[in-house]
Structure 1
Amino acid sequence: MTHKTTLQGIGAAIAAYALWGLLPVYWKALNGASATEILAHRMIWSLLFLLGVLAVRRQWNWLQIIRQQRRLRLTYLASATLLAVNWGVYVWAVQINRVVEASLGYFINPLVSIALGVIVLRERLRLAQWLAIVIAATGVAWLTYNAGALPWIALALALSFGFYGLLRKQTPLGSFEALTVETLWMFPPAILWLSWLAGHNGGIYHDPGLWLLLISTGVVTAAPLLFFGAATRRIPLTMIGILQYLAPTLQLLLGVLVYGEPFSTAQLIGFSAIWTALVIYTGDSILAARRYQPITPPEQKRG
């Protein structure tokens, strides 16, 4: 891997996570539409955009796999449902000025994924990883105690995306193809919902600016995936694991500095516990990756 390739990979990863991190700005601009309407438009226009990209790339071999495996189709129906929940809750959280709590969901999501790996896939954790989970759980408990209620928006986002990742881990298609299948599943209910809104004087039909933003949700959805795919081909997953925290960090900063959401000392303590857990987990992952990295024989280094 050349230095130029690494820099390109880092740049692509930063672009992907920056776009995901700045999504609250986009959803705020769509405040004239309801969260369910935005979700329906996102499913429809994402599907059309993805199909266009796949047509340009001439990537249709995956259709044969989908046609032949009923269980795989049902798996993607389940993952599509989880994705719809995740997208819908996130847009709604932004609309009701809960961007900070939404960012918490994506901070704890990697730790939820670890827990699911242990419980469902019977993966074994190292001591540092167990420590990270305990510290993160303590942080969530602290936030719950001080708020007087569970941070359910954060937990809904973390759990829905955690289970989504678990399902996707067990499927063979790439991210673009898989998302196409998922949006295909969601296309009929999305069309039905928008048709119902139109029949009951709902929906956004007289504002060209809002229409353009709604149509562009397909590009907004797919663009970070393109950058993310380019990054995974150029840099190690451990580096991607570190950069992924850029997205919720940007969301947190937007919530506090731009949208003026409260961020108390109690919240800072709870977030700090979760950040500590992420540092421990990420550091342990980097050390483990270096420990198990194959050593290149001296004669191969001279080429």
Structure 2
Amino acid sequence: MMSAIKLAIVGVGKIVHDQHLPAIAANPDFQLVASASRHNIVDGLPGFKSIEEMLAAVPGIDAVSLCMPPQYRYQAARVALAAGKHVFLEKPPGATLSEVADLEALAAAKSLTLFTSWHSRYAPAVQPAKAHLAAHAPTAMQVIWKEDVRQWHPNQEWIWQAGGLGVFDPGINALSIVTEILPSLIFLNRATLEFPDNRDAPIAAELHFQDGGGMPVHAVFDWRQTGKQSWDIVVQTSDGELKLGDGGARLWVHGVEQPLTKEAEYPSLYRRFAGLVREGRSDVDVAPLRHVADAFMLGQRKVVDAFHD
């Protein structure tokens, strides 16, 4: 049997406690050996304030999962790769496309694994939907991704800062599913981004895409939703309607809900990362981030009421 990959986590926040730690604990391919975070620790493990301090103090680390806000991820990834460590990037993989391209080149030069993780692509409805759309050509798509920022990102100031993505932090999950299930590439035609007048990142966005054949994709992202949250993708096809609900956890074809496997997004991510490390390969896909960058480039800016937590 191969020895476990010695893994460290950098950036210990809510997503780490909710998703990463349980997934790692359940995967025998990994042994979690340390963490680095400015404010938090992982119980039972050596904890450090920076990745530099951690790598200097803990010998034998093979890989790191970088889970800090995207504005700070590039420098930590450079440090890890320079030290010979494989790197798992939480979504989004960076604050800019150029950062990720530089990391990809460095990982390749050092024969290390770089993994841009998109957890929503591992939702149980995604691969069945992809197979259905490969057999039945889509003719239109509607994406509705609306949630309450106060529920999901309470008091997280970084997300409202430049580079924090704002409503695109959840919206990029929708785009990761869209770019996985569609059989053709799409590109942005026009967009409107709504910025609170006291924030540097948008609270809502409306995006209009099409593919080379003119098939339309309309997406609406909003962080002001209260009550029931909406994470839906509805596709019209040559064979009727297909719908993904609850962020890809449920699937309907012709209005009939389909049986699916149990949700296991983060366990699937770590299985994928372990396989890449064992095989000496990288998986770097920036398509969802490219669409977000296009929205900031092409989108009309609209100022709306100030937002306060």
Task: State TM-score, norm by structure 1.
Answer: 0.25
| Larger proportion of helix | 1
Q: More strand by proportion, 1 or 2?
A: 2
Give the structure with higher Rg (CA): 1
